[in-house]
A and B are shown apart, each in its own frame.
Chain A
Amino acid sequence: MNWQLPLMLAQTNDSNLENLRERTEAISMQGTTVPDSSLVREGTSNPFATEYWFPTQASSFAGEVDFLYMSIFWISLVFFVAIIGAMVYFCVKYRRKDGVIAPEPSSSHNTAIEILWSVLPSIILVWIFYVGAETWFEMRIPKENAEEIQVTAKQFGWLFTYEDGDQTNELHLVRDKPVRLIMQSEDVLHSFFVAAFRQKMDIVPGRYTYAYFEPIKDGVYRLSCNEYCGTGHSKMKTACIVHTSEEDRKNNTKWIEAEKTPFENGQRIYQIHCSGCHKVDGQAATGPALNLIWGENEKMIDGTTELVNEDYVLDSIWYPEKHIVEGYGPVSKMNSFKGILDQKDVDYVIAYLKELKSSTGDAK
Chain B
Amino acid sequence: MVDASTRQKLFGTPETNFLNCSKGWKSWAFTLDHKRIGIMYLIGVTVALFLAGVFALVLRSHLFTFDSTMLSDDMYNQMFTLHGAVMVFSFIIPSIPAALGNIVLPMMLGAKDVAFPRMNLASFYLWIIGTGCLLLAILSGKGLDTGWTFYTPYSIDTNTGVIYATFGAFILGFSSIFTGLNFLVTVNTMRSKDQGWFKLPLFVWSLYATAIIQVLATPVLGITLLMLIAEKTLHIGIFDPKYGGDPVLFQHFFWFYSHPAVYIMILPAMGVISELISVYSQKRIFGYSFIAFSSVAIALLGFLVWGHHMFTSGQSLVVTLIFSAITFTVAIPSAVKVFNWLATLYKGSILLNTPMCYALSFIFLFGIGGLTGLFLGALSTDIHLHDTYFVVAHFHFVMVGGTLTALLGGVFHWWPKIWGRMYNDFLGRVGCFLVFSGFNLTFFPQFVMGSRGMPRRYASYDPEFQIFHQLSTVGAFVLGIGILLSFVVLVYAALRGPRCSSNPFRAASLEWQSSSPPDFHNFLQTPVLTDPYDFESQVYDEELDTYIPREFANPDKVAPRKEPVHH
Residues of chain A touching chain B, judged by Cβ–Cβ distance below 8 Å, are: 1, 27-28, 31-34, 36, 39, 52-55, 61, 64-65, 68-69, 72-73, 75-76, 79-80, 83-84, 86-87, 90-91, 94-97, 100-110, 113-114, 117-118, 121-122, 125-126, 128-129, 131-136, 139-140, 187-189, 191, 193, 195-196, 198-202, 204-207, 209, 222, 224-235, 319
B312 within 8 Å of A by Cβ? yes
A228 touches B151 (CB 8 A): yes
B527 within 8 Å of A by Cβ? no
A107 touches B566 (CB 8 A): yes
B460 touches A1 (CB 8 A): yes
Q: Which 4 A-B pairs have the closest CB atoms?
A: A206-B241, A195-B453, A132-B378, A136-B379
A105 touches B364 (CB 8 A): no
Chain B residues numbered 366-407 whose CB sits less than 8 Å from any CB in chain A:
367-368, 371-372, 374-375, 377-384, 386-388
A226 touches B386 (CB 8 A): yes
Smallest CB separation, B149 vs chain A (Å): 8
Smallest CB separation, B563 vs chain A (Å): 7
Q: Which residue of B lies closest to A318 (CB)?
A: B244
Smallest CB separation, A285 vs chain B (Å): 28
B451 touches A53 (CB 8 A): yes
Chain B residues numbered 273-313 whose CB sits less than 8 Å from any CB in chain A:
281-288, 290, 312-313
B287 touches A109 (CB 8 A): yes
B350 touches A201 (CB 8 A): no
B384 touches A204 (CB 8 A): no
Q: Which residue of A lies closest to B351 (CB)?
A: A96
B287 touches A230 (CB 8 A): no
Question: Chain B residues near A222 (CB, 8 Å)?
Answer: 453, 462
Residues of chain B touching chain A, judged by Cβ–Cβ distance below 8 Å, are: 66-67, 69, 73-74, 77, 145-147, 151, 153-154, 157-158, 241-242, 244-248, 281-288, 290, 312-314, 317, 321, 324-325, 328, 331-332, 335-336, 338-339, 342-352, 360, 363-364, 367-368, 371-372, 374-375, 377-384, 386-388, 448, 451-453, 455-464, 506, 533, 535-536, 562-567
For the complex, give the distance between the alpha carbons of A238 and B463 in Å.
16
Question: Chain A residues near B335 (CB, 8 Å)?
Answer: 117, 121
Which of B69, B154, B352, B460 has its CB near the most chain A CB atoms (within 10 A)? B154
Q: A32-B460, A109-B287, A114-B290 are in contact. Are A133 and B158 (CB under 8 A)?
A: no
Q: Which residue of A lies closest to B540 (CB)?
A: A101
Which residue from B317, B378, B464 sits with its C-beta under 8 Å from A72? B378
Which residue from B151, B244, B287, B383 sits with its C-beta under 8 Å from A200? B383
A87 touches B342 (CB 8 A): yes
B332 touches A122 (CB 8 A): yes
Which of A54, A121, A122 has its CB near the most chain B CB atoms (within 10 A)? A121
Question: Chain B residues near A95 (CB, 8 Å)?
Answer: 350-352
Smallest CB separation, B297 vs chain A (Å): 12
A108 touches B286 (CB 8 A): yes
**Known contacts A91-B360, A96-B349, A234-B459; can you find 15 more A-B pairs with CB under 8 A?**
A1-B69, A32-B462, A69-B375, A80-B368, A86-B345, A87-B360, A105-B562, A105-B564, A132-B378, A133-B324, A136-B380, A188-B154, A189-B247, A230-B158, A233-B457
Q: A28-B463, A31-B66, A188-B154 are in contact. Are A53 and B380 (CB under 8 A)?
A: no
A90 touches B451 (CB 8 A): no
For the complex, give the distance between the alpha carbons of A122 and B330 in Å.
10
Which residue from A84, A100, A105 sits with its C-beta under 8 Å from B565? A105
- Some 24 contacts from A to B, beta carbons below 8 A apart, are A1-B69, A27-B463, A32-B67, A72-B378, A72-B381, A87-B363, A102-B349, A103-B283, A107-B566, A108-B533, A108-B565, A117-B335, A117-B336, A121-B332, A125-B328, A132-B379, A133-B321, A133-B379, A136-B380, A140-B317, A199-B383, A202-B312, A205-B242, A319-B244
Which residue from B346, B448, B535, B563 sits with its C-beta under 8 Å from A106? B346
Which of A73, A122, A191, A228 has its CB near the most chain B CB atoms (within 10 A)? A228
B378 touches A109 (CB 8 A): no
Question: Chain A residues near B74 (CB, 8 Å)?
Answer: 231
Q: Which residue of B lies closest to A319 (CB)?
A: B244
Smallest CB separation, B33 vs chain A (Å): 33
Q: Which residue of B lies closest to A124 (CB)?
A: B374
A135 touches B379 (CB 8 A): yes
Q: Which residue of B lies closest to A201 (CB)?
A: B312
Question: Chain B residues near A193 (CB, 8 Å)?
Answer: 387, 453, 455
B380 touches A235 (CB 8 A): no
For the complex, give the distance between the alpha carbons of A28 and B460 in Å.
15
Smallest CB separation, A83 vs chain B (Å): 6
Smallest CB separation, A171 vs chain B (Å): 16
Which residue from B157, B332, B567 sits with its C-beta under 8 Å from A109? B567
Q: A72-B374, A201-B312, A234-B459 are in contact. Are A132 and B324 (CB under 8 A)?
A: yes
A231 touches B77 (CB 8 A): yes
Q: Which residue of A lies closest to B248 (CB)?
A: A204
B282 touches A101 (CB 8 A): yes
Q: A109-B286, A230-B77 are in contact. Are A129 and B378 (CB under 8 A)?
A: yes
Q: A65-B384, A87-B360, A200-B386 are in contact. Are A128 and B374 (CB under 8 A)?
A: yes
Smallest CB separation, B546 vs chain A (Å): 13
Question: Chain B residues near A76 (CB, 8 Å)?
Answer: 371-372, 374
Question: Chain A residues near B317 (CB, 8 Å)?
Answer: 140
B342 touches A83 (CB 8 A): yes
B332 touches A33 (CB 8 A): no
Q: Which residue of A lies closest to B453 (CB)?
A: A195
Smallest CB separation, A62 vs chain B (Å): 9
Question: Chain B residues near A128 (CB, 8 Å)?
Answer: 328, 374, 377-378
Which residue from B247, B346, B382, B387 sits with its C-beta under 8 Å from A226? B387
A90 touches B387 (CB 8 A): no
For the complex, give the distance between the alpha carbons of A135 and B287 in Å.
38
A102 touches B73 (CB 8 A): no
Smallest CB separation, B524 vs chain A (Å): 26
B464 touches A27 (CB 8 A): yes
B283 touches A108 (CB 8 A): yes
Smallest CB separation, A56 vs chain B (Å): 11
Smallest CB separation, B341 vs chain A (Å): 8
A114 touches B287 (CB 8 A): yes
Question: Chain A residues near B460 (CB, 8 Å)?
Answer: 1, 31-32, 234-235
Question: Chain B residues near A107 (CB, 8 Å)?
Answer: 286, 565-567
B313 touches A234 (CB 8 A): no
Smallest CB separation, A237 vs chain B (Å): 9
Question: Chain B residues near A235 (CB, 8 Å)?
Answer: 73, 460
Q: Which residue of A lies closest to B368 (CB)?
A: A80
Question: Chain B residues near A54 (CB, 8 Å)?
Answer: 451-452
For the complex, give the distance between the alpha carbons of A271 and B380 in Å.
44
Q: A102-B536, A226-B455 are in contact. Are A188 and B153 (CB under 8 A)?
A: yes
Question: Chain A residues near B147 (CB, 8 Å)?
Answer: 228
Question: Chain A residues near B287 (CB, 8 Å)?
Answer: 108-109, 114
For the complex, give the distance between the alpha carbons of A234 and B75 in Å.
13
Q: Which residue of B lies closest to A199 (CB)?
A: B383
For the complex, give the distance between the alpha carbons of A27 and B462 in Å.
10
A94 touches B386 (CB 8 A): no
Q: A87-B360, A108-B567, A200-B384 are in contact. Are A233 and B349 (CB under 8 A)?
A: no
A189 touches B351 (CB 8 A): no
Which of B246, B342, B536 has its CB near the most chain A CB atoms (within 10 A)? B342
Question: Chain A residues near B345 (CB, 8 Å)?
Answer: 86-87, 90-91, 94
Question: Chain B residues near A31 (CB, 8 Å)?
Answer: 66-67, 460, 463
A139 touches B562 (CB 8 A): no
Question: Chain A residues near B564 (CB, 8 Å)?
Answer: 105, 108
For the complex, give the distance between the alpha carbons of A189 and B146 in Å.
12
For the complex, give the distance between the alpha carbons of A234 and B380 in Å.
25
Smallest CB separation, B457 vs chain A (Å): 4
For the complex, give the distance between the alpha carbons of A133 and B381 in Å.
10
Which residue from B325, B336, B372 sits with its C-beta under 8 Å from A118? B336
B313 touches A129 (CB 8 A): no
Question: Chain B residues near A84 (CB, 8 Å)?
Answer: 363-364, 367
